[in-house]
Amino acid sequence: MGMSENFNSEYFELSGIRGECIDFGTANPVNYTEAIMTPSECEKIRINGKLFLPESSEPSPAVIMVPGSLGVSENHLTHAETLLSERIAVFVVDPFSNRSVQSTVANQTQYSFAASAFDVLAALHTIREHPQIDPTRISAQGHSRGGAAILTAAIRAFADPIVGPECVFKSIYAVYPWCGHQFITPYVGSTRVRAIVGELDDWLSVQQVQSQIQAINLCGGDASIRIMAGASHSFDKEEFLHELPDASVSPNAPTIYLTPDGSMIDPYSGSVSSVETDRTYFLKAVEAGHGRRGAHIGGTKEQQETFRSDMLAFHKSNF
């Protein structure tokens, strides 16, 4: 039995450090516009996570760990242990349990991508008040759907209306992030951004990840990307490459661009709508023939070691 199967137990340890259970408020906006324009009117929900604190007499830097479509998994907890060994606190967020979601692999519309990003900001707002955390040195690491969430959460047009301009990530590390939704002006302020993705990833478009990073740089940001030769999705997992046959993906679908108020720009007509949702364009992608079932996860020992080195180098350079 793996570590992740016991994650929601009251007494859960990583590297001998007991996780502090933290319950915090977030929201379920139906789309980006609702999150940005009326955040206080969004449906409220509480989710939780576990904060692991290294022994220190001073407030610690921290990384918020955000899982992908399979929820909190072994790889996230292994990465948390690696960061803890470097005296970096880790807050592992569980966005699924309180939403009664098991997985979003087969259906990404069980809650919105805007809600995923809202979770990240709520987690930041919560732990920056913790007496053992240095609020000026909080970063986020998100995998897959979690990578999409932290990229959105770093964009000030999204974050400022929800948590205010003073609530800022030191950096974000987006691991094979889906970048099918992109703000037309992705200004991230002082937050440093890095993405890492496998060149053979069949869940998402590597070119969309590249365009997102380039757009952040063009808006004055400090963003970089590493494309792992020969790697697939979830190449950091200690699993041999294999297919998940129920995965619902549309890697070749057009990018949906977002205006500063979160409205979606139709890629076919150019029309702008504040009421459309993720589902609208996921269905259009399927109708256009972009949707399919089946995608791969897993990697090699060498890829896992390369990922660990890249992850550590990035986080340590920011702290």
pLDDT per residue over 44-100, tens digit each? 999 999 999 999 889 999 999 999 999 999 999 999 999 999 999 999 999 999 999
The closest alpha carbon to 64, from 190, 170, 221, belongs to 170
The CA distance from 10 to 21, in Å, is 7
**Superfamily per CATH, domain 15-318:** Alpha/Beta hydrolase fold, catalytic domain (3.40.50.1820)
How many Cα atoms are found within 13 Å in the side-chain-facing hemisphere of 107? 5
Of the chain, the percentage scoring pLDDT greater than 70 comes to 99
* Mean pLDDT (whole number) for 277-293: 96
Is pLDDT of 5 > 90? Answer: no
Residue 156: per-residue pLDDT? 98
- Asked if residues 102 and 71 have their Cβ atoms less than 8 Å apart, the reply is yes
Is pLDDT of 12 > 80? Answer: yes
Q: Cα(first)–Cα(last) distance of the chain, in Å?
A: 34
Which range is least confidently modeled, 12-16, 144-148, 151-155, 179-183? Answer: 12-16
Is pLDDT of 3 > 90? Answer: no
Pairing of strands 60-66, 264-265: unpaired
Question: Residue ranges per domain, the chain?
Answer: 15-318
Residue 10: per-residue pLDDT? 85
Residue 271: per-residue pLDDT? 98
Q: Which residue has the tokens 């740089």?
A: 217
pLDDT band, residue 239 (cuts 50/70/90): very high
Instruction: Kindly report the backbone phi and psi dihedral angles of residue 156, in degrees, each rounded to the nearest multiple of 5, phi listed first.
Output: -65, -30
Q: What is the pLDDT of residues 166-183, one digit of tens each?
A: 999 999 999 999 999 999
Report if pTM > 0.95.
yes
Report the chain's mean pLDDT, rounded to a whole number: 96
Is pLDDT of 1 > 50? Answer: no
Q: What is the pLDDT of residues 190-216, one digit of tens each?
A: 999 999 999 999 999 999 999 999 999
Q: What is the pLDDT of residues 95-126, one digit of tens each?
A: 999 999 999 999 999 999 999 999 999 999 99
The CA distance from 206 to 227, in Å, is 8
* Mean pLDDT (whole number) for 213-233: 98
